[in-house]
Amino acid sequence: MSMQGDQEKGIKLGYNILSPWFKMQTTGGFTASAFIYGLVSLENMAFIANAVSMVLYFYSTLHFNLAASANTLTNFMGSTFLLSLVGGFISDTYINRFHTCLIFGVLEILGLMLITIQARYPSLYPKPCNDKSSCMEGDIGVLFYTSLSLLALGSGGVRGALPALGADQFNRKDPQEAKALGSYFNWLMLSTTVGASVGVTGIVWVNINKGWWKGFFIGVVATFVGFVVLSLGKPFYRLQTPGDGPIIRIAQVIAAAFKNRKLVLPEDSDELQETDEKEVVPTEAKIAHTKQFRFLDKAAILQDGCKPTPWTLCTVTQVEEVKVLTRMLPIIGSTILMNTCLAQLQTFSVQQGSIMDKSLGNLQVPAPSIPVIPLVFMSILLPIYEFVFVPFARKITKHPSGITQLQRVGVGLVLSAVSMAVAGIVEVKRKNQSHKSPLKPISLFWLSFQYGIFGIADMFTLVGLLEFFYREAPVGMRSLSTSFTWISLSFGYFLSSVFVSVINAVTKRVTPSKQGWLHGEVLDQNNLQLFYWFLAILSCINFVNYLYWASWYKYKTEDAVEAELKSPPLNAAPLLGEAQEDVSKTTKEASSVEPKEDEISKTTGEASSLEPKEDAKDEEKVAEDHVQKQE
């Protein structure tokens, strides 16, 4: 009975320690994601509205010329997405993703407020200057670039942490939640689309017709409310505990591999240094060894007589983390050009629309509002993709997401090339009509073809990249990894600025008119259609390049995934601590006793039936002793 009582006590002990995790089953999932979707919708109302309309604000109000206004916007967008690395790094290393979003959210709101103040007071506008590409100078220039810098840092930091925060709400250890992870990214894209639709219609209309400062102020209010919504969801979130700095871990592997470069790799990879299962921290998971980039394996060789340090000896898991990130680099590089194409739709296409017929019946549609057409397409197609295509494709491919993430990206790359080709054709039609009848331009809605095709491309590529980088990344580097999606966007915008400058410089020398394709401020005197077709041809070449790297990429092995699933659930680490191993052992012993309950009862019954027999044996023994004494 004493042993049985200890076993019951062990079961009870295990339940008491594990019960906080059981209670947290009400957290996470789509319940927690709903608050994140709310922030994404409200924040993107302002962000996307600015992305599609600020080129006109720079051009018409702040006196930038055509090329400078386009480059200023693309540089701002490029900086925003590049700074997502900062948010990803901080949320992986120092503070959790929720608090990272709030901190950078404050900076984003402050940047929007400064932009609103400058737009409100004409005394803060620069004076016109015809001989310069930009008239920004003095205190006015400091205010302008400070506001853009704060907005870029805040928006970028939020984007570096927010997608991973939402994905953390789905425990990959649970098969149902693991399957729902792909749906999470689809709904995240839909939330972005819904918010952007309101932004490019409502806020842009206010910008053009009621004043820029009023549109910017609406963006401030919407963004502030969005972060309030995010804060309200804190009781429902599963928060990932930050681990070792991913940049430091990468640097340690590179340094150790370099120091051990002259050592010979063992034939058996099991001889390489690896962390013992008992030493694995909750935010990590062991990753199976792969044969790619074998030179990095030298970082895991333990030298005889050498005292190991983090900078001279790394584990196989740490080496494999670097390999995973290295394998991702060609994928990032192959998607940059697509985002260069996206930059044209937010700059030159908006400028095209500003000189086209913007009437829709009695309504005048602002040129920056034309992206609402692909946004509407995406709002319709995303649910169809989620509820129709994915289940159908899943039956054929047996893949949880219907098709792999890299296949999804490939579809987007093809459509982006088609979009640029169509954009060139539409520009030819617009220019011909403008030369033929300048007072009767073609309708603004001709641009909907290139916007619509690219919108579908973006639906495939952006969601595919976010899911790909999150699923493939090591546990402690997921914010940094999802930031790779934004890095691709960033380099795409920067590359757009480079292309505009280089194309102008080169074509100025070879064209008979000695004018670049994109010179001056009058589109009818430019060759924008040639620039679009140039991008379409490059996109086709880039797609061939992408096919090579996508086929070369090695997904996580099943061993790596299984090892990851063995790690404790999010938020479990602080609750379980060091007692986890003891609890698991106790629970295992208790469970091993439970199936033998019938045997225990049977044994107990047999023992009770044997008690009279034991008494009879004692009586016989006493009698025998009595006889022997008599003898």
CA–CA gap between residue 107 and residue 84 (Å, rounded) = 13
* pLDDT for the residue numbered 110: 96
* pLDDT for the residue numbered 475: 74
Amino acid at 566: K
Q: Name which of 143, 22, 162 is nearest 84 in CA terms.
A: 162
* pLDDT for the residue numbered 74: 83
Helix ranges (H only) for 121-174 are 138-167
Q: What's the chain's length in residues?
A: 631
* pLDDT for the residue numbered 540: 96
Q: Name which of 399, 327, 332 is nearest 552 in CA terms.
A: 327
- Which CATH number, 3.40.50.300, 3.40.50.150, 2.60.120.920, 1.20.1250.20, labels domain 24-242+319-572? 1.20.1250.20
Residue 150, number of CB atoms within 10 A of its CB: 20
**CB-based burial of residue 35 (10 Å sphere; 0-12 exposed, 13-18 middle, 19+ buried)?**
buried
Partners of 364 in beta bridges: 359
* pLDDT for the residue numbered 148: 93
Residue ranges per structural domain of the chain: 24-242+319-572, 246-318
The angle subtended at Cα 468 by Cα 298 and Cα 390, nearest 5°, is 145
Report, as ranges of residue numbers, the positions in the chain whose pLDDT lies below 70. 1-25, 130-133, 243-245, 274-285, 305, 520-521, 556-631
pLDDT (tens digit, 9 = 90+) per residue, 54-108?
A: 888 888 888 787 778 888 888 898 899 889 988 888 888 888 899 999 999 999 9
CA–CA gap between residue 251 and residue 141 (Å, rounded) = 39
pTM given for the model = 0.71
Q: Name which of 497, 483, 494, 411 is nearest 454 in CA terms.
A: 411
pLDDT (tens digit, 9 = 90+) per residue, 266-298?
A: 877 777 776 654 444 444 567 777 888 888 888
